Chains A and B, each alone.
Chain A
Amino acid sequence: MRAAPAHRLGAAEQRALEHWQTRRRWARAGLVYAVMLLFAIVFVGPLLFAAVSSLRTDPLAYPPSLAIPQLRPSNWAAAARLGQAGAADRWFGGFAPGAVVPFEIAYFVPDGVDVTDPDVEVPRRRPGAGLGAVLAIEYAADHASVSELRRLPDVPMTVETGDGTISGRRVGYAFTIRYEGTGPEIDRLPLDVTAAVGMQYLDSTLTASRLERRGRTASFNDVAPGVLGYVLRNYVRVFNEVRSPATRQSLFLAWIGNSFTFAAVRIVVTLVIASMAGYALARLRFRGREAIFMLVLFSQMVPLQVLFISNYLVLRDGILTIGGFTLSSLWGYPGGMLNSLTGLVFVTALNAGAVFIMKQFFESIPREVEEAAMIDGANHWRRYWNVVLPMARPALGALTILTFQGAWNDFFWPFIVLTSPENVKTLPIGLLSFRNTYGAVGDWGLILAGAVTSAIPVIILFVVFQRYFMEGVSFGGGKE
């Protein structure tokens, strides 16, 4: 940039130059917003795209797209109508005795191709694979009967292809699926409609979940889904389909419960231990203080992999086993504390970072505050409990939120401690068994839906308490 030759300018030219500079400032601000928007799209994009794709029947369907049937309002209306017809439930649908589910499907038939009525079948299709797939379920196929097909009036139409225009007509069919007799209410009503060669699927009451056999078979996962059952199908599956083979309990619900319990207990334990230790290190002068503080700093530099070998054995042995007596049997764990949330709390209770934060905070409180209490003859505990701790609410709040995030997202320790059975796991470890079970068969809908669900609590917390997260950075608590 060259300096303007200001000394040669008159007043008018000076003003013009100022205008010129102002324009530049505005333009620069505009460009900065544009760049920030671009960065925001880059960083939030994958999460948002995964969230949208988790609604797709098959998130691996190529090409990736945001224009998906689940986001089309016409499908929402149809799903509600069909859910109402199937089980009088427009939200989650189903197939109940007495149900009459009306359905229409349309094909494009080029001129010169004979029209043959398609085959309509309610298949016996087992939902999903893996966890819980061994459970006995009721099939809609055992109770459903499909009516005669009624052919709708043909409509002439043309189709554009890469090679030119093909003329032909639109051939539509209507039929109903009935639940005859009595029986249990069934979760879903799958449907396969197979047309003759040459007939090309156009649309149907509800968009087909997928086309099979070179496009001849339009396959529907559920033709009585209800709005939520249709749009959030993968999410419903996450909660319903993945069950413990032994107890039929929803594993995903169990994982959520474990994660919340673990987070809550860990918050309480961290706040108590860290505030007490932080108070001592910040306010009291005693022999060994420096040594302990150095140990606190040093403990943050040692990799978890050094510690987990012994800590795993400590949990296995219930802290201490001497001559057949296990210490942890005192609080109800005679066989050691592996595969228990209690063991997990024990092994994660050592949180030097939290002690450091509390120490820093207590040091920022002026000593005079305590001196008044000291004159009244209050002992250390009273000074800590009645004077300093109430003042530490902001620090305790920040620590609560950071600890929740840490516990909710924690991977390493739960991965080591909680291995079996499935229902002792926390969410991140549970998601990993999702990946192992469903990733192999390419069922990414379930995995993405689980991942997105598990991210929601932390995102809500972040939106509400953003400030605390940002401060977390300055505490140097950056994980990789």
Chain B
Amino acid sequence: MRTKRSDTVAAYLFLLPFLVLLLIFFVYATGRAIYFSFTDYDLFRPPNWVGLRNYAALFADALFLSALRNSILFAVIVTAVQTFLALVMAAVLNQKVRGIGFFRAAFYMPSITSSVVITLIFLWMFQRRGLINFLTETLQRHLPVLLAFALILIAVQVVQVAWERRRELPAAWTDPALLVVSLLVASGATWLLVTTGLILPRDVPPVDFIWLQTRDTIPSGAPFWLSVPIPLAAIMIQNVFTTIPTFMLMYLAALQDVPKSHYEAAAIDGANATQQFLRITIPSVAPVTFLVLTLSMIGTLQMFDQVAIFGDAAPLRSVVTLAYFVYDRMFPGAQTPEVGFAAAGAMFLAVLTLVVVLLQRRLVRSEGY
């Protein structure tokens, strides 16, 4: 279709409000941020050109280095964990069953509520005498019982499968019908063991783990670039929790399109569940994995809300990210704003995001998806 003059005029009239906003709040804003990053602007005195000094100063700034370390660890660990868990959970749930709509809605709940609501709830759960420590303590106390349950479950399942195989029936080690029986037997047996007092919950010291007001890291005493501050780990747990459902549903949609015959053919060739997962499931959802990885990296590299909401509940160094560093230099409380320095940090974050996205795209191209 060829371009008509009247079309062009009409098009720009239609686009006018959008373009005005785009020019002021995007093009001009980006340009100004780039310009500020080469100046010593502080909101009050006119800016002076300082060349690359802000960028050089970034790497001598302790807060920036903490932010860089935190952002990178946060992005890499959270992306890896949530992508993996989302895929595994989707594979487990990949069955055509009725009533999945209800469950999809339930899984979605954490992702529709605001970051403030979720973060406040997690802050509450991460208090010293909060739910997380309570659950850890309960788990530790009941460890013998759980262990007994697991052992009985495995034993009963092994015996049953061996029996079925002797009858020449094609029972897999995870055979669902036998598993239901094993679960019932194991529950009953464990209940008996506990009521007769043969196995009892142990006495454990109260779990009093400090999640928030601490400068400690995991692993404790690791080199700077490899140590995850504990409050940051708390945000990681929260982020994984809120994001898994979204990604899991994306994977689930993709998995439902994989033909069942692929799995059946693999089963006939003798592939077990793990092999099927590695050879069929993972390759067939590769495009979704790419989307999930990209969305996850962008989201996690730019994490801001949780740090702002944690506020003084955790030491700044332990949770600061690149995004929050920019805010912190722009509005440093009682000190003079360092707008130029903040802008340099923002440019660094933008370039980092862009590089990660382009690298991933490149990687995907070379893999030929």
Contacts and interface: CB of A to CB of B under 8 A. Distances in A.
A331 interface: no
A408 B114 contact: yes
Interface stretch (A107-115, A165-173, A205-213, A273-281): A273-281
Interface in B313-343: 313, 322-323, 326-327, 330, 339, 342-343
A3 B116 contact: no
Contact of B172 (A1, A27, A29, A62): A1
Interface residues of A, number: 110
B8 A411 contact: no
Nearest to B298: A301
Contacts of A384: 14
B35 to A, nearest CB: 9
A130 B1 CA distance: 66
A319 interface: yes
A462 B108 contact: yes
A28 interface: yes
Contacts of B28: 310, 314
Contacts of A307: 25-26, 29-30, 33
A36 B105 CA distance: 12
Interface stretch (A74-82, A181-189, A220-228, A448-456): A448-456
Contacts of A473: 246, 249-250
Contact of B180 (A30, A408, A431, A451): A30
Contacts of B244: 43
A476 B292 CA distance: 9
B360 interface: no
Interface residues of B, number: 114
A91 interface: no
Interface in A428-455: 428, 431-432, 435-436, 439-440, 444, 447-448, 451-452, 454-455
B219 interface: no
Interface of A: prevailing SS: helix
Contacts of A447: 120, 124
A469 interface: yes
B284 interface: no
Contacts of B21: 273, 349-350
A431 B119 CA distance: 11
A46 B123 CA distance: 11
A379 to B, nearest CB: 8
B14 A43 contact: no
24 contacts: A2-B170, A43-B106, A43-B107, A47-B110, A62-B134, A64-B131, A277-B14, A284-B7, A286-B8, A287-B8, A289-B11, A303-B349, A305-B350, A307-B25, A309-B343, A310-B28, A310-B32, A312-B330, A314-B24, A454-B114, A455-B117, A459-B109, A459-B113, A476-B291
Interface of B: 1-4, 7-8, 10-12, 14-15, 17-19, 21-22, 24-30, 32-33, 36, 43, 89, 92-93, 95, 97, 100-101, 103-110, 112-117, 120-125, 127, 129-131, 134, 168-170, 172, 175-177, 179-180, 239, 241-247, 249-250, 267-268, 270, 272, 291, 295-296, 298-305, 308-309, 311-313, 322-323, 326-327, 330, 339, 342-343, 345-347, 349-350, 353-354, 357
Interface of A: 1-5, 17, 20, 23-24, 26-33, 35-37, 39-40, 43-44, 46-47, 49-50, 53, 59-60, 62-64, 272-274, 276-277, 279-281, 284-287, 289, 292, 295-296, 299, 301-314, 319, 346-347, 349-350, 352, 355, 379-381, 384, 405, 408-412, 415-416, 428, 431-432, 435-436, 439-440, 444, 447-448, 451-452, 454-455, 458-459, 462-463, 466, 469-470, 473, 476, 478-480
The 9 tightest CB contacts between A and B, nearest first, are A480-B299, A409-B114, A280-B14, A310-B29, A27-B176, A40-B106, A27-B177, A277-B18, A286-B8
